[in-house]
Amino acid sequence: MKIAFYSTKPYDRIWFEPLGKEYGFDIQFIEYPFNKETVYLSRGSDAVCIFVNDYVDRELMDMLYEMKIQALLLRSAGFNHVDISAAKDKLHVLRVPSYSPEAVAEFAAALLLTVNRHTHKAYTRTRDFNMSIHGLMGRDLYGKVAGVVGTGKIGQAMVHILKGFGMRVLAYDPYTSDGVDAEYVALEELLERSNIISLHCPLTKETKHMINKKTIAKMQDSVYIINTSRGALIQTEDLIEGLVSKKIGGVGLDVYEEEEGIFYEDCSDEIMKDTVLARLTTFPNVVITSHMGFFTREAMQAIAIETLENAYAVENKLPLVNEVLP
């Protein structure tokens, strides 16, 4: 099988290159993102492998079908960047549903601790030998109420971590899971009672902009909001309004709704054209990272193995257990 591997970074090769040889695959590593200008680089391939900021609409899906591409391999659990309905009866779309839920949950907790205890500011100060702690006061997490939105594997791992902090944990998910050590409540109740809200749900039509002006108004004053899932779960302009009014006490974002073309790239020598993102970075109580919650050695290895297992299943006509269907 020949695989066109888009949005390649040096860290992708560490696992995919040797594993690809073990599976007998011919992997063509392409540094460019997958789009209308680069789709033709996959001509002659059997499968195309993309990452979270490679968007595949109906037109691109038709182009892949015309080039006789058999499968679209996603190096992610989420699939909101792919028009799944357009793939029906044309090619298989396979994802990596679980690689390391603990990695993402641990990173969400790291964002929470950073926002709360200002460790990023303290680090910068002490490097300049400024040992003042004025302005760095946080809050005890112990005894506070945390709301976890989405109790899939990542959400469950986050519940476990928050319980370890001695927090009371509320949970919301339209599909409840057994064995979750949290109190399931309606979303509105979770918003009203939680001191900290952490988002761990997929991006769908129902969840897009679930954090908006109306839902923020229902939250506790000085609430912390953490998002390591998908940027468009939050209406960013409304988030900024909540920060300006001090309704929101702090925000930790590993994702951003307009991150395509920015996250995973070095834009340090460029003028930031996204004025919304530029403004977000000016708030002292906002911590933004570049969609790296998954980025551990264990998770990257698991993503590589599962992605190539998906390709192996397609090539050998085995059951496609990770196929995404309309």
Catalytic residues: 230, 259, 291
Work out the angle at residue 77's Cα, subtended by the Cα atoms of residues 296 and 25, and round it to the nearest 5 degrees: 80
Segments in the chain forming alpha helices (H): 10-23, 58-66, 101-117, 119-127, 153-164, 187-193, 213-217, 236-244, 275-280, 297-315
Both tokens of 288, joined, read: 């933004």
> Which amino acid belongs to residue 320?
L
> How far, in Å, CA of 205 to CA of 39, rounded?
27
Tracing tokens 């695959």 back to the chain, one arrives at 25
Q: Cβ distance 4 to 48 under 8 Å?
A: yes
Q: Cβ distance 51 to 201 under 8 Å?
A: no
Q: Exposure of 89 by Cβ count < 10 A (0-12 exposed, 13-18 middle, 19+ buried)?
A: exposed
Q: Work out the number of other CB atoms within 10 angstroms of the CB of residue 208.
A: 15
Work out the angle at residue 104's Cα, subtended by the Cα atoms of residues 123 and 100, and round it to the nearest 5 degrees: 135
Tracing tokens 């919650």 back to the chain, one arrives at 293
SS3 56: strand
Both tokens of 149, joined, read: 């939105």
